[in-house]
Amino acid sequence: MRPKTFKKHDEYLKTIIKTGNAVAEGTFGDSEGGILVMKGDLQMEVIESDPAVREGLLEIEIQKLWIAKGGFCEK
């Protein structure tokens, strides 16, 4: 079950990244968690729709992060 769910999670994450609202994403290791940095305000439905979140494999924590323009080398 986990491998299929994580594959769905990866596919869902790719759709989020394609929107252009993702600044950075990555994992901290196999069981250390991960991060998704997005532009602007985030609607909870976007994250709650992630298959791994819906199936309880990932726990979400959302925090607002203020970064100076250009801090991630974006244009």
Condensed to tens digits (0 to 9), the pLDDT of residues 27-52 reads 887 778 888 888 888 788 988 999 99
Instruction: Tell me whether residue 66 is in a domain.
Output: no
Count: domains in the chain: 1
Instruction: Tell me whether residue 70 is in a domain.
Output: no
DSSP E strand stretches across the chain:
22-27, 34-38
Domain that holds residue 6: 2-54
pTM: 0.74
Confidence of residue 7 (pLDDT cuts 50, 70, 90): very high
Phi, psi of 13 (to 5 degrees): -60, -40
Instruction: Tell me whether residue 74 is in a domain.
Output: no
